[in-house]
Homo-oligomer: A and B are copies of this chain.
């Protein structure tokens, strides 16, 4: 935890940004959950805890965290983007139920490797990828 705060401080320093309690709270809030939440959910969760922060600051802080790979942005095809922290969490992709919105995580190393090869083939320097499977989950079928 203290370790993660240090990480935030370092990143802010690297960006020439100041360490403020709002940024700290946003980061702690994102760290506190393993869910995939949108900016507004994060904002409201903070508000409910009595922490005064604005939507703008939530978005601004998330931007930095995403840039430094501490948070992942997830476009789920409809509605707002979702976010999840990447601390102690290995890379995974998502399979999403189109009816109930349930999100499950999966990893297939073979796919990850094949992606790298595609990038090489097209002479792209790979930065990130989106791999999302949309379907109907067992409960909704």
Contact = CB atoms under 8 A, between A and B. Distances in A.
B136 A125 contact: yes
Contacts of A108: 114, 118
Interface residues of A, number: 33
A133 interface: yes
Given A75-B77, A127-B136, A136-B127, A122 B141 contact: no
Given A75-B75, A119-B95, A124 B111 contact: no
Nearest to A107: B118
Contact of A124 (B114, B118, B129, B135): B135
A115 B133 contact: yes
19 contacts: A75-B75, A77-B130, A95-B119, A95-B122, A98-B127, A106-B122, A108-B118, A110-B114, A111-B115, A118-B133, A123-B138, A124-B133, A124-B135, A124-B138, A125-B136, A127-B136, A129-B133, A129-B134, A130-B130
